[in-house]
């Protein structure tokens, strides 16, 4: 890609790899990766990302992804899709959070929120980073016009449902505070895999966001999570959980739900091992005291 120095995905990967971990073995013990998200217990803080249109990856790919998450004891996010597909995802037994695009027509947004409720979703939310296109116009996703949303509009969305509302595409303290004001139950710190060049890596801005919102919202981190070590680094810098997208796509294509389950479990096993080797045997015991920034 031309001028890869500004590619946000590459910058994010470089930042992940620049973070080093100190070992603390004395008095450590076996780790527990169990987590409670919006009142429900899960076996791991690793979730699937809000992927969409996976039928080219596997037959009924979205439902297979959800099934794999359920098998692994993990939360599942969902992106674009029709009501029937969303219902099939929920029918697998997965806890699904439906992420709605910022449609120009708010009635379409409210209709999608209702679809999530009727399908039996665990939560719902909005992807705010598809408001604008790269050419300075409003975005258009698969023929559907998008628009940026005001704080007032976000409040109307969160107040329209009893489901936990998660806002995806937060990459600043400013927006994190606005999401809190809007009544969001959670945010996904993300640059949507490089939707804007030179975007700050999520983990670089994450500590500032955590300081600003504390434990008043659940903080998920997206973009570039490829391993249990990556997940650990995100948790150490303030995340409550992480979202995995690209890392599950090849296993999904090869083995369907079983591939997704195996990948999530393998990543969680690595996370558990790092927790044990740093004497952080509960998720809430992981902090940035283990992090060193490589400058050599």
Q: Where are the domains of the chain?
A: 4-283
**SS3 for 73?**
coil
Q: Are residues 240 and 33 in contact, defined by beta-carbon separation less than 8 angstroms?
A: no
pTM of the model: 0.97
Q: How far apart are CA 164 and CA 183, in angstroms?
A: 9
Tokens matching residue 191: 């640059």
Give the catalytic positions in this structure: 192
CATH number of 4-283: 3.20.20.70
The pLDDT score that the predictor gives to residue 56 is 84
Burial class (CB in 10 A: 0-12, 13-18, 19+), 260: buried
Q: In this structure, what DSSP letter does residue 115 have?
A: H
The pLDDT score that the predictor gives to residue 128 is 97
Distances (CA, A) of 201 to 77, 189, 224, 225: 21, 9, 9, 12
pLDDT tens, position by position, 8-58: 999 999 999 999 999 999 999 999 999 999 999 999 999 999 999 998 888
**SS3 for 291?**
strand
Q: How far apart are CA 283 and CA 25, in angstroms?
A: 17
Q: With a cut of 70, which residues of the chain have pLDDT below it?
A: 1-3
pLDDT tens, position by position, 94-130: 999 999 999 999 999 999 999 999 999 999 999 999 9
């Amino acid at each position: 890609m031309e001028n890869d120095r500004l590619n946000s995905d590459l910058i994010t990967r470089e930042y992940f790899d620049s973070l080093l971990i100190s070992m603390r073995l004395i008095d450590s013990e076996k780790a527990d990766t169990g987590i409670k998200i919006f009142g429900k217990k899960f076996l791991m803080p690793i979730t699937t990302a809000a992927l969409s249109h996976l039928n080219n990856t596997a037959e009924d790919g979205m439902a297979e992804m959800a099934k794999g998450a359920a098998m692994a004891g993990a939360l599942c996010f969902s992106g674009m899709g029709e009501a029937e597909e969303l219902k099939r995802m929920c029918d697998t037994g997965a806890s699904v959070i439906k992420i709605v695009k910022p449609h120009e027509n708010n009635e379409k947004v409210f209709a999608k929120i209702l679809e999530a409720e009727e399908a039996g979703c665990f939560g719902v939310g909005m992807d705010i980073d598809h408001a604008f296109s790269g050419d300075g116009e409003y975005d258009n996703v698969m023929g559907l016009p998008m628009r940026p949303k005001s704080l007032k509009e976000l409040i109307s969305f969160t107040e329209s449902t009893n489901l936990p509302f998660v806002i995806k595409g937060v990459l600043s303290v400013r927006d994190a505070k606005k999401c809190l004001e809007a009544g969001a139950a959670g945010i996904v710190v993300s640059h949507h895999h490089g939707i804007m060049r030179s975007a700050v890596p999520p983990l670089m801005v994450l500590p500032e966001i955590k300081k600003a919102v504390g434990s008043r919202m659940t903080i998920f981190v997206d973009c570039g999570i490829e391993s249990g070590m990556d997940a650990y680094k995100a948790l150490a810098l303030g995340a409550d959980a992480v979202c995995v997208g690209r890392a599950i796509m090849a296993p999904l294509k090869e083995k369907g739900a079983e591939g997704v389950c195996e990948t999530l479990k393998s990543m969680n096993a690595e996370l558990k091992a790092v927790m044990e080797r740093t004497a952080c045997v509960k998720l809430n015991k992981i902090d940035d005291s283990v992090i060193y920034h490589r400058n050599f």
